[in-house]
Amino acid sequence: MRADGRLPSELRKIIIQPDYLRSPAGSALIRCGDTWVLCTASVEEKVPPFLRDAGTGWVTAEYGMLPGSTHTRSNRGSSGRGKEIERLIGRSLRAAIDTARLGPRTITIDCDVLQADGGTRTAAITGGYVALCLAVRRLQQAGLLSADPIRHPIAAVSVGVIGGEALLDLPYEEDARAQVDMNIVMAQTQKGPAFVEVQGTGEQGTFDRRELDRLCDLAEGGIAQLFAAQSQALSEENPKGVRP
């Protein structure tokens, strides 16, 4: 039995509020238990230097934790951990989109953690996908895209091993004592679910092929529910589809 009463294969309660903010092209507040991440998608009509004159667009991500989001106040500003995370988010969201269809523009997904209780990077990916879709929808409504650049939904979840047992969606208290900790990003492709990123770490132990398999199974089950939550959030959105 887990401390919060969940089954090993049970997600925390998930709430995604689409178009949470007025200014950005797309935004979503995602709450996975006590982990809350505000994701915004901003569009700029320019691309990074390495894509100059390439005709294709770019999707990138930034990640931050508000100082009050953790039990002990954390300092503002970038850290090695933050850089690692925002690179993961950026790679994952680029897997969701055909940047050639975006035209020469950049969508920046900002993921700011309002409250942290484990799994902030996977929540950021799951919520960031919703913000990205909303921003793309706005570009389509404005007639700026000739074809839909979204390839397939992506979502992410953490899994881990504690005391030999594989668990889904670890809160901080579990994450801190897991022997193996894994973040899995998957896409919902036409051929079924497929991996986008698999990042497993055995900082307090090692793991074998059987455990890897079991963790992948658990993640696949959880991510199926996240795909459903994303889909609902995107359909709930303002039916008129245009914000004032």
Q: Is 196 helix (H, G, I), strand (E, B) or coil?
A: strand
CB of 118 to a second copy, least distance (A): 13
CB of 36 to a second copy, least distance (A): 8
113 exposed, middle or buried (CB, 10 Å; 0-12, 13-18, 19+)?
A: buried
Q: Are strands 58-65 and 106-115 parallel, antiparallel or unpaired?
A: parallel
227 half-sphere exposure, CB direction, 13 A CA radius: 18
Cα 155 from chain centre: 6
Q: Does 209 bind a second copy (CB under 8 A)?
A: yes
Structure tokens, 79:
């850290």
Q: How far apart are CA 69 and CA 114, in angstroms?
A: 5
CB of 9 to a second copy, least distance (A): 18
Choices 51-59, 155-163, 184-192, 222-230 (CB under 8 A): range interacting with a second copy: 184-192
Q: Does 128 bind a second copy (CB under 8 A)?
A: no
Binding residues for a second copy, total number by CB under 8 A:
61
CB of 41 to a second copy, least distance (A): 8
Are the C-beta atoms of 157 and 223 separated by less than 8 Å?
A: yes
**Residue numbers at the binding site for a second copy (CB under 8 A):** 21-24, 27, 34, 38, 40-42, 44, 62, 64, 66-73, 76-78, 80-81, 83-84, 86-87, 91, 94-95, 108, 110, 112, 114-117, 182, 186-187, 189, 194-203, 206-209, 212-213, 216
